[in-house]
Chain A
């Protein structure tokens, strides 16, 4: 079993839809949770960073962490064609431990 599981997609949604991206994990010691966006042939860009359980909102993006279920989510409201990219979840135990990445979910927002 992989430490971090993420559905690779692709996920296609119409413009304006609410997008839900998810990851599950097995390591209960993970405390820091990140979401990165990666456009084709580019490096990943940090979108959201959360510590422990709870929600964090930034513009159209909301990150949720449920440590009891070992489940994290990224919601994108009012999705735009420019949101089309691969979204990677990432997590770590903290204390400068290695960051573990999901395989990424490819999202396509159709105009």
Chain B
């Protein structure tokens, strides 16, 4: 299967700081990447769709000024959690859509964010 990497795998930060998470598709070019959030024992919640070279599309209820997404190349998308607060602590997972496969997504390993 396709390989998607995510960095860092785990981050602990103080309240008020910003955290950047990188998502890379390693063996294919992804024009579209997705950012999800997952709380314990809950399903994936789509936060935003990241399109290369254009602005991200955010889901209802997701603050675009707080969760900044940049998709500067066909293999890299970044999510920056700005002014993080303890309620932002969660498991963040990115995925990449493989060209030619309209609906299959390949997921990264996830980033566990803990805000103190």
> Which residue from chain A places its CB closest to the CB of B106 in the assembled complex?
A46
Q: How many A residues face the partner with a CB closer than 8 A?
A: 23
Chain A positions 37 through 70: 1 when the CB is less than 8 Å from some CB of chain B, otherwise 0: 0000111111001000000000000000000000
Taking a contact as CB atoms under 8 Å apart, the answer to whether A43 and B43 are in contact is no
Taking a contact as CB atoms under 8 Å apart, the answer to whether A43 and B46 are in contact is no
Query: Within 8 Å CB of A102, what residues of B?
Result: 43
Taking a contact as CB atoms under 8 Å apart, the answer to whether A45 and B44 are in contact is no
Greatest chain A CB density within 10 A among B42, B105, B110 is at B105
Which of B6, B93, B105 interacts with A46 by CB under 8 Å? B105
Which of B49, B102, B103, B109 interacts with A43 by CB under 8 Å? B109
> Interface residues of B: mostly helix, strand, loop or mixed?
strand
Which of A32, A41, A104 interacts with B103 by CB under 8 Å? A32
Interface residue B61 (Cβ < 8 Å from any Cβ of A): no
Minimum C-beta distance from A21 to chain B (A): 14
Taking a contact as CB atoms under 8 Å apart, the answer to whether A8 and B41 are in contact is yes
User: Which residues of B, 35-66, contact A by the 8 Å Cβ criterion?
Assistant: 41-44, 46, 49
Q: How many B residues face the partner with a CB closer than 8 A?
A: 25
Q: How far is the CA of A101 from the CA of B40 in the complex (A)?
A: 15
Interface residue B85 (Cβ < 8 Å from any Cβ of A): no
Chain A positions 71 through 105: 1 when the CB is less than 8 Å from some CB of chain B, otherwise 0: 00000000000000000100010111111011110
Q: How far is the CA of A44 from the CA of B101 in the complex (A)?
A: 17
Taking a contact as CB atoms under 8 Å apart, the answer to whether A103 and B42 are in contact is yes
Interface residue A34 (Cβ < 8 Å from any Cβ of B): yes
Taking a contact as CB atoms under 8 Å apart, the answer to whether B104 and A103 are in contact is no
Q: How far is the CA of A12 from the CA of B101 in the complex (A)?
A: 34
Q: How far is the CA of A92 from the CA of B97 in the complex (A)?
A: 13
Greatest chain B CB density within 10 A among A44, A45, A96 is at A44
Chain B positions 23 through 42: 1 when the CB is less than 8 Å from some CB of chain A, otherwise 0: 00000000010000000011
Chain B positions 92 through 104: 1 when the CB is less than 8 Å from some CB of chain A, otherwise 0: 0101010001111
Interface pairs A-B: 8 shortest CB-CB? A43-B107, A32-B103, A103-B43, A92-B103, A43-B110, A43-B109, A44-B107, A101-B44
